[in-house]
Amino acid sequence: MSTQPVVAPDPLDTDDYMPLNGIDHVEMYVGNAKQASYYFRHAFGFKEVAFAGLETGVRDRVSHVLQQGRIRLVLTGSLSSKTEVADHQHLHGDGVKVIGLSVNDTEYAYKTALEHGAEGVTEPHEVSDEHGTVVLASIKTYGDTLHTFVQRDGYKGAFLPGFAARELTVEPGDVGLLAIDHIVGNVERMDPWVKYYEDVFNMKEMLHFTDEAISTEYSALMSKVVADGKGRVKFPINEPAEGKRKSQIEEYLEFYEGAGAQHIAVATQDIVKTVELMQARGIDFLRTPETYYDDVPTRIGEINEDIEDLRRLGILVDRDDEGYLLQIFTKPAGDRPTVFFEVIERHGARGFGEGNFKALFEAIERDQAERGNL
């Protein structure tokens, strides 16, 4: 079996019956939304732009909407022990509940999704205020995660009707995050969910990594990447593979207590500056051995960045046929060893750092060993 990724045809060459404009927002259910908002504002440099809760007439939950570049992160906590927010957070810990998808026609997207096998949760409906109208609808995906179709059509409010605008910033400002590059899902069985995205969203398999390609001495996983017709929305899907010890995917599934979103990759145009700022604000990143950087010049070739900066900060670098990328991964963002973030800078590369997999997973395994979970 080859250890090289299987590369599918360019998704841009397809006829697209489910056009997506991109990721509208990601909503996380958390144990304390106020404290989570403070963390993401001060450590990640987000600004709070909208709020919903008791002050806006919402009686069961509170939501803080954070923004940086085109990234919109919604942090929602429960105001009671008897809500679905509380149930989700009790079972999974802090985690992603909703991946919002921007569409031009929510009713069409919802109808098309159900015709191709999706299970509906919330039918298309309008929500309105003085700033305009938004049309929403939701369907199920892996675990307890939902996809919500969002049709904004020039809505002028800060987020959605029912949210009050806010302006809570942090000094000295953002850290240079621009957009969501991809969101990774961890599941028990990968192929049924790959087929789900192919059928429901007309996505195409972009890359396929075997367990031989993604393995270490102790653990392994398999992964396939699906992307929409315009390449704007990319979802790698991981499943555990048999290894000598517990893989990172098995650890996630155990502590998340089911399938869910493993990490959110956020893009920057200056990863060195971004990581310097994030580290100064207390973000812990996975570290790789210094020896990783010894062969970077011969393995990767010429890059714009200084290798010593990458070594100092622990930034990984990889190259494919179309360019190179730089990436680094935070440690888990919450108490459970589940959800984390990736910072990525692309210079033409369409891949996901497959040349870094071994170094990355060995770094993850060192953390697993410290937690007693390897």
Domain boundaries, the chain: 6-13+175-371, 22-168
**Preceding omega of 9 cis (within 30 degrees of 0):** no
**Alpha-carbon distances of 82 from 145, 296, 319, rounded to whole Å:** 19, 53, 49
Helices (H), the chain: 33-44, 84-92, 106-115, 190-201, 248-256, 271-280, 296-300, 307-313, 357-371
d(CA 374, CA 368): 5
Q: What is the pLDDT of residue 100?
A: 98
Kind of pairing between the strands at 22-29 and 71-78: parallel
- Describe the crossing of helices 357-371 and 248-256 by its angle, rounded to 10 degrees: 50
> Hey, what amino acid is at 53?
G
Decide whether 6-13+175-371 matches 22-168 in CATH topology.
yes
Complete edge-to-edge strand list for the sheet that includes strand 132-140: 120-129, 132-140, 146-151, 95-102, 22-29, 71-78, 61-68, 47-52, 164-168
d(CA 101, CA 118): 15
> Hey, what amino acid is at 317?
V
Element (H, E) at 342: strand 340-347
What is the CATH T-level fold of the domain 6-13+175-371, as seen in this structure? 2,3-Dihydroxybiphenyl 1,2-Dioxygenase; domain 1 (3.10.180)
> Hey, what amino acid is at 290?
E
d(CA 84, CA 61): 10
- In the predicted model, residues of the chain with pLDDT beneath 70 are 1-14, 209-221, 243-245, 354-366, 373-374
d(CA 26, CA 98): 6
> Hey, what amino acid is at 138?
S
Q: What is the pLDDT of residue 171?
A: 72
**Alpha-carbon distances of 45 from 117, 144, 251, 340, 343, rounded to whole Å:** 39, 29, 29, 16, 13
CB hemisphere CA count around 342 (13 angstroms): 20
Complete edge-to-edge strand list for the sheet that includes strand 340-347: 6-7, 204-209, 220-227, 234-241, 177-186, 260-268, 340-347, 323-329, 316-320
State both tokens at 53. Answer: 């809760």
Strand partners, 237: 185, 224
Q: What is the pLDDT of residue 370?
A: 77
CATH number, domain 22-168: 3.10.180.10
Q: What is the pTM of this model?
A: 0.91
Residue 331: CB atoms within 10 A of its CB come to 15
